[in-house]
Amino acid sequence: MPWKNQGGGPWGSGPKGPWGSGPQPVGPRPPDLEDLLRRGQDRLQQIMPGGYFSGIGITLIVLLIVAFWLLSGFFRVQSEELGVVLRFGKHVRTVQPGLNYHLPYPIETVLLPKALRVNTISIGMTLIDDPARRGRSIRDVPEESLMLTGDENIVDVDFTVLWRIKPDGVGDFLFNIQNPEGTVKAVAESSMREVIGRSQIQPILTGARNVTEQGVQELIQKTLDSYGAGIQISQVQMQKVDPPAQVIDAFRDVQAARANLEQLQNEAQTYANQVVPQARGRAAQIMQAAEGYKEQAVAEAKGQSSRFLKVYEEYKKAPDVTRERIYLETMERVLGGADKLVYDGGPSGQGIVPYLPLGELTTKRPPTTGPQSSGGNR
Q: What is the pLDDT of residue 303?
A: 92
Short-list 71, 68, 98, 67, CA closest to 82: 98
- Concatenated DSSP letters of 59-71: HHHHHHHHHHHHH
The DSSP 8-state label assigned to residue 159 in this structure reads E
Phi, psi (rounded to 5 degrees) for 177: -130, 145
pLDDT reading at 167 higher than 90 = no
Q: What is the pLDDT of residue 180?
A: 86
pLDDT tens, position by position, 86-145: 888 777 777 777 787 777 777 777 777 777 788 888 888 887 766 666 666 677 787 888
pLDDT reading at 186 higher than 60 = yes
Long-range residue pairs from 208-214, CB within 8 A, at least 24 positions apart, any chain:
209/238, 209/241, 212/238, 213/159, 213/237, 213/238
Query: What is the rounded average pLDDT for all residues in the chain?
Result: 76
pLDDT tens, position by position, 236-250: 988 888 877 777 777
Does residue 207 contact residue 123 with C-beta atoms inside 8 Å?
no
Distances (CA, A) of 124 to 189, 191, 193: 9, 13, 12
Distances (CA, A) of 16 to 3, 5, 27, 45, 172: 14, 15, 18, 36, 64
Instruction: Kindly report the pTM of this predicted structure.
Output: 0.49
| 349 pLDDT tier (thresholds 50, 70, 90) | low
pLDDT tens, position by position, 50-92: 555 556 667 777 787 777 877 777 777 777 777 777 888 777 7
Residue ranges of the alpha helices (H) in the chain? 33-47, 55-71, 142-145, 170-175, 180-197, 201-205, 209-227, 248-317, 319-335, 358-361
Q: Report strand pairing: 154-165 vs 119-123.
A: antiparallel
The DSSP 8-state label assigned to residue 278 in this structure reads H
Does residue 328 contact residue 374 with C-beta atoms inside 8 Å?
yes
Q: What is the pLDDT of residue 249?
A: 73
User: What percent of the chain is predicted at pLDDT more than 70?
Assistant: 73
pLDDT tens, position by position, 17-49: 444 444 454 445 555 667 766 776 666 666 555
